């Protein structure tokens, strides 16, 4: 069976050096002190042990995505104070920790975070205070396509926050011309959630993820793999397997935006995607 070539980043056997981690400001990347090559070896061993009773005779090389600059989506908690916001995470006391130089984010995301912070400072809106249960700004979600286009979603607590952001949308479009999709999501409840059910679009409808063989279209609440290079590797490998057995029918269960099914599509093959998320299904239809 044909195997996938390793990406150039997979040859990086070092580790990501992160000042936030070393200073104890962010411990989100729990394996950061383990060299990247060792992380891969450990995961391979775990897979072999877990699948021991049904292990294949031949294991394909691990397709790796590198230790930095790989994450195509950032979920940034808003902290700090009005006109002095932080974008990153909240610590154990719910104080904002600014992570605008986080090394795992795609360069396009890292570049836009300071612009987002300045824009939010200019609105005068208060970050949401988890302890006091007051304030307005909760999160900013940023997704980057390979083309450099961005989807930016502001998550706020009330209609007031939505109105303020809507009133400043034209100036925001000028600040971030690569933002092809911009929306405001309302999360009025005090709960551990990243978004609410109501979304108002300020620009565009879906972000075009221009991959090597297929363009996938992401709507604000549809899921996509956070590592674009690895997602492409997965899609291509499954496509090879499906072609090898000459399948005429394919069911893509929990299909999301349809990446696997669309990579496996062909003139003599019928693909059916099954998914509970309406946003994801709409995205898959556009991509199809």
Residue 27 sits in the same domain as residue 150? no
Q: Is residue 140 part of a domain?
A: yes
* pLDDT tens per residue across span 123-139: 999 999 999 999 999 99
Q: Are residues 22 and 50 in the same domain?
A: yes
Mean pLDDT of the chain: 91
Give the domain range for residue 119. 73-204
Split at pLDDT 50, 70, 90, the class of 14 is: low
Residue 54 has pLDDT above 70, yes or no: yes
136 lies in a domain?
yes
Q: How confident is the model at residue 2 (pLDDT cuts 50, 70, 90)?
A: very low
Q: Are residues 86 and 195 in the same domain?
A: yes
Domain assignment present for residue 35? The answer is: yes
Query: Would you list the DSSP string of the chain?
Result: ---PPPPGGGG--S----HHHHTTS----TTTTS-HHHHHHHHHHHHHHHTGGG--SSPPPPP---SSS-B-EEEEEEEEETTEEEEEEE-TT--EEE-TT-TTB-HHHHHHHHHHHHHHHHHTPPBPBTTTTB-SEEEEEEEE-TTS-EEEEEEESSHHHHHHHHHTHHHHHHH-TTEEEEEEEE--S-SS-S--SEEEEEE-S-EEEE-SS-EEEE-TT----SBHHHHHHHHHHHHHHHHHTT-SEEEEET-TTTHHHHHS-BTTBEEEEE-S-HHHHHHHHHH-
Q: What is the pTM of this model?
A: 0.90
pLDDT at 22: 93
Structurally, how many domains does the chain consist of? Answer: 3
């Amino acid at each position: 069976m044909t195997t996938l070539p390793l990406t150039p980043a997979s040859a990086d056997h070092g580790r990501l050096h992160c000042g936030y981690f070393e200073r104890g400001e962010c411990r989100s990347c729990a394996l950061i002190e383990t060299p990247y090559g060792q992380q891969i070896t450990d995961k391979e061993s775990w897979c072999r042990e877990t699948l021991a009773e049904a292990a294949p005779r031949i294991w394909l090389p691990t397709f790796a995505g590198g230790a930095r600059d790989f994450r195509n989506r950032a979920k940034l908690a808003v902290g700090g104070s009005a006109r002095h916001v932080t974008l990153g995470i909240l610590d154990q006391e719910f104080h904002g920790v600014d992570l605008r130089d986080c090394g795992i984010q795609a360069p396009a995301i890292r570049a836009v975070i300071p612009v987002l912070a300045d824009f939010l400072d200019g609105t005068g809106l208060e970050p949401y205070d988890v302890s006091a249960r007051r304030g307005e700004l909760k999160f900013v979600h940023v997704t980057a396509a390979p083309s450099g286009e961005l989807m930016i979603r502001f998550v706020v607590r009330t209609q007031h926050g939505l109105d303020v952001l809507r009133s400043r949308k034209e100036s925001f479009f000028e600040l971030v011309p690569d933002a092809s999709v911009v929306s405001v999501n309302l999360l009025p409840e005090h709960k551990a959630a990243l978004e609410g059910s109501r979304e108002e679009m300020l620009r565009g409808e879906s972000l075009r993820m221009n991959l090597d063989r297929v363009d996938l279209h992401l709507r604000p609440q549809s899921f996509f793999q956070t590592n674009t290079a690895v997602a492409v590797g997965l899609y291509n490998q499954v496509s090879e397997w499906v072609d090898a057995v000459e399948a005429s029918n394919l069911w893509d269960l929990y299909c999301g935006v349809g990446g696997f099914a669309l990579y496996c599509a062909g003139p003599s093959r019928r693909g059916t995607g099954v998914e509970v998320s309406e946003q994801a299904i709409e995205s898959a239809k556009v991509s199809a």
